[in-house]
Amino acid sequence: MERLDKFLCDSGVGTRSQVKAILKSGRVAVDGKTEKDSTRKIDPKTNAVTLDGEVLGGYRRIVVMMNKPAGFVTATEDKSERTVMELLPEEMRHLDLKPVGRLDKATEGLLLFTNDGDLLHRLISPRKEVSKVYYAKHEGTAEEADVSAFAEGITLRDGTRCLPAKLEPLGPGESLITVCEGKYHQVRRMMASRNMTVLYLERREEGPLTLGDLPRGQLRELSEAEIRSLES
Ligand code: URA
């Protein structure tokens, strides 16, 4: 048994205060009878809880795509830096969302969040080989020898071996880089190993997902079809 207000919060209906107001307005029913008492105990397996007539499940899996701006660290908390969690709107703060992988403080672009622990682990596992595409502005110009070195697998300056990756020169000082793993500062270090210091980095794609026209600093929830495309 659990309290009705907690059940409604966990179902993604809203924050505690929003749920309180929703209950007060008479939009929630338990087994067909309007219920306004937030302390009411319910059993999610046997009681049918509805909001505006729609049946609610206890847990709603969600995946959110953010277009991360520079200046925020990817962490759930940090003593001195602003974190990406601060960019989540108020109504998403109670959903227990965690960032999927990491973008550096200075890196912009596609960052996923989910409350589904299994999906999170599958997406960050190097065995799953989810490819990520980055746009980089950098010193120097990528040459054929750099493209071949990426295709063979870069050895970083500290001796770490990277999996084969794709380097596509776009012009002087601009390239697209596709990698399937997420080592610390990976793209910056791969480029540095070829003497091309990265000046700007943006993640544009992750697996089947692209940033599209999502504005910087904004988020959108993925559809069920998009979540399934990530899992396949
Ligand atoms: N590689 C990097 O160097 N930085 C990122 O944020 C992501 C990939």
pLDDT tens profile 69-84: 999 999 999 999 999 9
Top pLDDT among 46 and 186 is at 186
Task: Give the mean model confidence (pLDDT) for residues 153-157.
Answer: 97
107 lines ligand 1 (CB under 6 A): yes
Q: Which long-range contacts (CB under 8 A, 24 or more apart) does 41-46 make?
A: 41/1, 41/2, 41/3, 41/4, 42/1, 42/2, 42/3, 42/4, 42/7, 43/1, 43/2, 44/2, 44/7
Which candidate, 105, 179, 106, 176, places its Cα nearest to that of 136?
176
Closest C-alpha residue for ligand 1 atom 7: 103
pLDDT-based confidence at residue 49 (cuts at 50, 70, 90)? confident
Mutation test residue for ligand 1: of 112, 162, 187, the one with most atoms within 8 Å of CB? 187
Task: Give the mean model confidence (pLDDT) for residues 57-61.
Answer: 69
67 lines ligand 1 (CB under 6 A): no
205 lines ligand 1 (CB under 6 A): no
Mutation test residue for ligand 1: of 130, 176, 186, the one with most atoms within 8 Å of CB? 186
Which candidate, 2, 58, 48, 1, places its Cα nearest to that of 28?
48
pLDDT tens profile 91-134: 787 678 999 999 999 999 999 999 888 889 888 887 777 899 99
Contact 129, 86 (CB under 8 A): no
114 lines ligand 1 (CB under 6 A): no
Q: Annotated catalytic sites, by residue? A: 104
pLDDT tens profile 2-28: 899 999 998 888 898 999 999 999 999
pLDDT-based confidence at residue 59 (cuts at 50, 70, 90)? low
What is the residue-averaged pLDDT of the chain? Answer: 92
49 lines ligand 1 (CB under 6 A): no
State in Å, rounded, how far the first CA of the chain is from the last one: 35
Q: Which atom of ligand 1 is nearest to the CA of 182?
A: 8
pLDDT tens profile 159-216: 999 999 999 999 999 999 999 988 999 999 999 999 999 999 999 999 999 999 999 9
Cα 175 to Cα 141, 213, 215: the distances in Å are 8, 20, 22
Give the least confident one: 49-53, 67-71, 81-85, 215-219.
49-53
CA–CA gap between residue 22 and residue 11 (Å, rounded) = 13
